[in-house]
Amino acid sequence: MQIATWNVNSVRQRIEHLLRYLRDASPDVLCLQELKCVDEAFPWQEIEAAGYNAAVHGQKGFNGVAILSKAPIEVTRGLPGDPADEHARYIEAIVPHDGGAVRVASIYLPNGNPPDTDKYAYKLAWMDRLIAHAKTLLALEEPLILAGDYNVIPAARDCADPAAWINDALFLPQTRARFRTLVNLGLTDALRATTDDAGLYTFWDYQAGAWQRNKGICIDHLLLSPQAADRLVKTTIDKALRGDDKPSDHVPVRIELA
Protein backbone atom coordinates (compact mmCIF):
# COMPACT_ATOMS: atom_id res chain seq x y z
CA MET A 1 0.00 0.00 0.00
CA GLN A 2 1.39 3.39 -1.04
CA ILE A 3 0.41 6.57 0.81
CA ALA A 4 1.72 9.98 -0.21
CA THR A 5 1.43 13.58 0.91
CA TRP A 6 1.85 16.71 -1.21
CA ASN A 7 1.32 20.41 -0.67
CA VAL A 8 0.17 21.07 -4.21
CA ASN A 9 0.03 24.89 -3.80
CA SER A 10 -3.24 25.44 -5.73
CA VAL A 11 -4.90 22.31 -7.03
CA ARG A 12 -6.41 24.11 -10.01
CA GLN A 13 -3.10 25.61 -11.12
CA ARG A 14 -1.33 22.26 -10.66
CA ILE A 15 -4.03 19.94 -11.99
CA GLU A 16 -1.87 18.63 -14.81
CA HIS A 17 1.01 18.03 -12.39
CA LEU A 18 -1.39 16.23 -10.06
CA LEU A 19 -2.93 14.02 -12.72
CA ARG A 20 0.51 13.06 -14.01
CA TYR A 21 1.60 12.12 -10.48
CA LEU A 22 -1.50 10.01 -9.94
CA ARG A 23 -0.78 8.21 -13.21
CA ASP A 24 2.97 7.74 -12.71
CA ALA A 25 3.28 7.10 -8.96
CA SER A 26 -0.23 5.63 -8.60
CA PRO A 27 -0.47 5.97 -4.80
CA ASP A 28 -3.36 4.18 -3.12
CA VAL A 29 -3.91 7.30 -1.02
CA LEU A 30 -2.73 10.87 -1.62
CA CYS A 31 -3.07 13.60 0.99
CA LEU A 32 -3.16 17.10 -0.48
CA GLN A 33 -2.65 20.47 1.18
CA GLU A 34 -3.05 24.12 0.21
CA LEU A 35 -5.82 23.50 -2.31
CA LYS A 36 -6.69 27.23 -2.39
CA CYS A 37 -10.27 26.60 -3.50
CA VAL A 38 -13.72 25.90 -2.12
CA ASP A 39 -15.17 22.40 -2.42
CA GLU A 40 -17.31 23.34 -5.42
CA ALA A 41 -14.25 24.50 -7.39
CA PHE A 42 -12.27 21.32 -6.78
CA PRO A 43 -11.54 19.36 -10.01
CA TRP A 44 -13.81 16.47 -9.08
CA GLN A 45 -14.35 15.11 -12.58
CA GLU A 46 -10.65 14.96 -13.46
CA ILE A 47 -9.77 13.22 -10.20
CA GLU A 48 -12.59 10.69 -10.50
CA ALA A 49 -11.65 10.01 -14.12
CA ALA A 50 -8.15 9.20 -12.88
CA GLY A 51 -9.65 6.46 -10.70
CA TYR A 52 -9.79 8.20 -7.32
CA ASN A 53 -12.42 9.02 -4.74
CA ALA A 54 -11.91 12.50 -3.30
CA ALA A 55 -12.74 13.90 0.13
CA VAL A 56 -12.26 17.66 0.29
CA HIS A 57 -12.23 20.30 3.01
CA GLY A 58 -11.73 23.48 1.02
CA GLN A 59 -11.49 27.20 1.65
CA LYS A 60 -11.58 30.18 -0.68
CA GLY A 61 -8.19 31.50 -1.71
CA PHE A 62 -5.99 29.71 0.82
CA ASN A 63 -5.64 26.60 3.00
CA GLY A 64 -7.71 23.56 2.00
CA VAL A 65 -6.92 19.87 2.40
CA ALA A 66 -8.03 16.70 0.65
CA ILE A 67 -7.59 12.94 0.65
CA LEU A 68 -7.67 11.05 -2.64
CA SER A 69 -8.15 7.29 -2.42
CA LYS A 70 -8.59 4.46 -4.88
CA ALA A 71 -10.93 2.82 -2.36
CA PRO A 72 -14.10 4.42 -0.92
CA ILE A 73 -13.44 6.19 2.38
CA GLU A 74 -15.20 7.39 5.54
CA VAL A 75 -14.36 11.03 6.23
CA THR A 76 -14.16 13.47 9.15
CA ARG A 77 -13.41 17.15 8.53
CA GLY A 78 -11.75 19.57 10.93
CA LEU A 79 -9.39 19.27 13.90
CA PRO A 80 -11.20 18.99 17.24
CA GLY A 81 -10.56 21.40 20.09
CA ASP A 82 -11.70 24.81 18.83
CA PRO A 83 -15.20 25.12 17.33
CA ALA A 84 -14.47 28.73 16.36
CA ASP A 85 -11.54 27.78 14.10
CA GLU A 86 -12.77 28.02 10.51
CA HIS A 87 -9.46 27.28 8.79
CA ALA A 88 -9.61 24.23 6.49
CA ARG A 89 -6.44 22.53 7.68
CA TYR A 90 -7.37 18.99 8.70
CA ILE A 91 -9.24 16.07 7.15
CA GLU A 92 -9.22 12.44 8.28
CA ALA A 93 -10.34 9.26 6.56
CA ILE A 94 -10.67 5.55 7.21
CA VAL A 95 -9.38 3.65 4.19
CA PRO A 96 -10.23 -0.06 3.78
CA HIS A 97 -7.23 -2.23 3.01
CA ASP A 98 -6.52 -5.95 2.95
CA GLY A 99 -9.48 -6.94 5.08
CA GLY A 100 -8.84 -4.18 7.60
CA ALA A 101 -8.48 -0.42 7.54
CA VAL A 102 -5.90 2.35 7.76
CA ARG A 103 -6.67 5.76 9.26
CA VAL A 104 -5.08 8.65 7.34
CA ALA A 105 -5.09 12.38 8.05
CA SER A 106 -4.09 15.21 5.72
CA ILE A 107 -2.64 18.10 7.74
CA TYR A 108 -1.81 21.68 6.78
CA LEU A 109 -0.29 23.04 9.96
CA PRO A 110 -0.21 26.85 10.30
CA ASN A 111 2.95 28.64 9.18
CA GLY A 112 3.05 30.97 12.18
CA ASN A 113 5.05 33.85 10.75
CA PRO A 114 5.74 36.52 11.84
CA PRO A 115 6.45 34.88 15.22
CA ASP A 116 5.81 38.07 17.20
CA THR A 117 2.14 38.11 16.14
CA ASP A 118 -1.07 36.20 16.87
CA LYS A 119 -0.20 33.94 13.94
CA TYR A 120 2.45 32.21 16.02
CA ALA A 121 0.18 31.82 19.02
CA TYR A 122 -2.37 30.22 16.66
CA LYS A 123 0.29 27.84 15.34
CA LEU A 124 1.27 26.67 18.83
CA ALA A 125 -2.36 26.32 19.92
CA TRP A 126 -3.11 24.32 16.76
CA MET A 127 -0.19 22.02 17.51
CA ASP A 128 -1.51 21.51 21.04
CA ARG A 129 -4.87 20.50 19.58
CA LEU A 130 -3.15 18.09 17.18
CA ILE A 131 -1.22 16.53 20.06
CA ALA A 132 -4.46 16.04 22.03
CA HIS A 133 -6.23 14.51 19.02
CA ALA A 134 -3.28 12.25 18.23
CA LYS A 135 -3.46 10.85 21.78
CA THR A 136 -7.09 9.95 21.16
CA LEU A 137 -6.30 8.30 17.82
CA LEU A 138 -3.33 6.36 19.17
CA ALA A 139 -5.56 4.88 21.88
CA LEU A 140 -7.46 3.10 19.08
CA GLU A 141 -4.34 1.00 18.41
CA GLU A 142 -4.81 0.90 14.65
CA PRO A 143 -2.64 1.74 11.63
CA LEU A 144 -2.55 5.57 11.61
CA ILE A 145 -0.73 7.96 9.30
CA LEU A 146 -0.67 11.69 10.12
CA ALA A 147 0.60 13.14 6.85
CA GLY A 148 1.04 16.62 5.55
CA ASP A 149 2.76 19.97 5.48
CA TYR A 150 3.69 20.48 9.12
CA ASN A 151 5.52 23.78 8.59
CA VAL A 152 8.09 22.42 11.04
CA ILE A 153 11.82 21.97 10.45
CA PRO A 154 12.52 19.30 13.09
CA ALA A 155 16.32 19.60 13.23
CA ALA A 156 19.29 21.41 11.74
CA ARG A 157 19.91 18.56 9.29
CA ASP A 158 16.47 19.26 7.81
CA CYS A 159 17.51 22.60 6.29
CA ALA A 160 20.37 23.57 4.02
CA ASP A 161 21.15 26.76 5.96
CA PRO A 162 20.04 26.53 9.61
CA ALA A 163 21.28 30.05 10.40
CA ALA A 164 18.85 31.50 7.87
CA TRP A 165 15.90 29.95 9.75
CA ILE A 166 16.91 30.58 13.35
CA ASN A 167 14.24 33.24 13.95
CA ASP A 168 11.57 31.68 11.73
CA ALA A 169 8.36 30.19 13.17
CA LEU A 170 9.14 26.91 11.40
CA PHE A 171 12.38 26.45 13.36
CA LEU A 172 11.87 28.19 16.69
CA PRO A 173 12.56 26.06 19.79
CA GLN A 174 8.87 26.11 20.85
CA THR A 175 7.84 24.77 17.44
CA ARG A 176 10.37 21.96 17.44
CA ALA A 177 9.56 21.08 21.04
CA ARG A 178 5.89 20.62 20.22
CA PHE A 179 6.77 18.49 17.21
CA ARG A 180 8.92 16.30 19.47
CA THR A 181 6.04 16.06 21.93
CA LEU A 182 3.81 14.84 19.12
CA VAL A 183 6.32 12.26 17.90
CA ASN A 184 7.08 11.12 21.46
CA LEU A 185 3.46 10.06 21.92
CA GLY A 186 4.58 6.92 20.11
CA LEU A 187 4.68 8.04 16.49
CA THR A 188 7.44 7.27 13.99
CA ASP A 189 8.71 9.79 11.45
CA ALA A 190 8.64 7.70 8.26
CA LEU A 191 11.58 9.47 6.62
CA ARG A 192 13.84 9.31 9.67
CA ALA A 193 12.91 5.69 10.28
CA THR A 194 14.58 4.85 6.98
CA THR A 195 17.57 7.25 6.83
CA ASP A 196 19.67 9.60 8.93
CA ASP A 197 21.00 11.46 5.89
CA ALA A 198 21.13 15.23 5.81
CA GLY A 199 20.29 17.15 2.66
CA LEU A 200 16.83 15.59 2.24
CA TYR A 201 14.32 18.34 1.51
CA THR A 202 10.66 18.62 0.53
CA PHE A 203 10.37 22.40 -0.05
CA TRP A 204 12.41 24.90 -2.03
CA ASP A 205 11.33 28.54 -2.10
CA TYR A 206 10.59 30.18 -5.44
CA GLN A 207 13.01 33.01 -4.59
CA ALA A 208 16.78 33.37 -4.84
CA GLY A 209 17.36 30.23 -6.88
CA ALA A 210 16.66 27.98 -3.90
CA TRP A 211 15.89 24.95 -6.09
CA GLN A 212 18.90 25.43 -8.36
CA ARG A 213 21.19 25.83 -5.31
CA ASN A 214 19.44 23.05 -3.35
CA LYS A 215 18.67 25.47 -0.50
CA GLY A 216 15.74 23.45 0.76
CA ILE A 217 14.00 22.46 3.96
CA CYS A 218 12.17 19.32 5.07
CA ILE A 219 8.71 20.28 6.37
CA ASP A 220 6.43 17.62 4.86
CA HIS A 221 6.21 14.62 7.15
CA LEU A 222 4.38 11.32 7.61
CA LEU A 223 4.06 10.25 11.24
CA LEU A 224 3.08 6.62 11.81
CA SER A 225 1.47 4.82 14.73
CA PRO A 226 3.26 1.64 15.91
CA GLN A 227 0.78 -0.49 13.94
CA ALA A 228 1.66 1.42 10.75
CA ALA A 229 5.38 1.73 11.48
CA ASP A 230 5.65 -2.04 11.77
CA ARG A 231 4.56 -2.25 8.15
CA LEU A 232 6.84 0.50 6.79
CA VAL A 233 8.90 -0.74 3.84
CA LYS A 234 10.39 2.47 2.43
CA THR A 235 10.03 6.24 2.20
CA THR A 236 10.58 8.20 -1.02
CA ILE A 237 10.84 11.94 -1.65
CA ASP A 238 9.64 12.48 -5.21
CA LYS A 239 12.11 15.31 -5.68
CA ALA A 240 12.06 15.43 -9.49
CA LEU A 241 8.66 17.14 -9.53
CA ARG A 242 10.23 20.37 -8.26
CA GLY A 243 12.00 20.62 -11.62
CA ASP A 244 8.73 20.64 -13.59
CA ASP A 245 7.46 23.69 -15.41
CA LYS A 246 5.57 25.96 -12.96
CA PRO A 247 5.78 23.44 -10.10
CA SER A 248 4.58 23.56 -6.54
CA ASP A 249 7.31 24.69 -4.15
CA HIS A 250 6.78 21.37 -2.30
CA VAL A 251 7.28 17.83 -3.59
CA PRO A 252 5.43 14.65 -2.62
CA VAL A 253 6.69 12.31 0.08
CA ARG A 254 5.56 8.71 -0.37
CA ILE A 255 5.64 5.64 1.85
CA GLU A 256 5.10 1.98 1.14
CA LEU A 257 3.44 -0.21 3.75
CA ALA A 258 3.60 -4.01 3.62
Average pLDDT of the chain, as a whole number: 97
Cβ count within 10 A of residue 132 = 12
Q: Give yes or no: 133 in active site.
A: no
Q: How confident is the model at residue 208 (pLDDT cuts 50, 70, 90)?
A: confident
Q: How confident is the model at residue 254 (pLDDT cuts 50, 70, 90)?
A: very high
The CATH fold assigned to 2-257 is Deoxyribonuclease I; Chain A (3.60.10)
Average pLDDT of the residues in 1-28: 98
Contact 254, 25 (CB under 8 A): yes
Q: In sequence order, which residues have a C-beta less than 8 Å from that of residue 184 and are 6 or more positions away?
A: none
What does the domain layout of the chain look like in residue ranges? 2-257
Catalytic residue among 21, 90, 108, 150: 108
Share of the chain above pLDDT 90, in %: 98
pLDDT tens profile 54-70:
999 999 999 999 999 99
Q: How confident is the model at residue 84 (pLDDT cuts 50, 70, 90)?
A: very high
Catalytic residue among 149, 158, 168, 220: 149
Q: Which amino acid is at 255?
A: I
Contact 118, 84 (CB under 8 A): no
Q: Give yes or no: 108 in active site.
A: yes
Q: Give yes or no: 87 in active site.
A: no
Give the pLDDT confidence score for residue 192 in this predicted structure.
97
pLDDT tens profile 121-146:
999 999 999 999 999 999 999 999 99
Residues annotated within the binding site are 7, 34, 149, 151, 249-250
In the predicted structure, residue 234 carries a pLDDT above the cut 90? yes
pLDDT tens profile 159-175:
999 999 999 999 999 99
In the predicted structure, residue 99 carries a pLDDT above the cut 90? no
Residues annotated within the binding site for Mg(2+) are 7, 34, 149, 151, 249-250
Cβ count within 10 A of residue 91 = 27
Average pLDDT of the residues in 6-10: 98
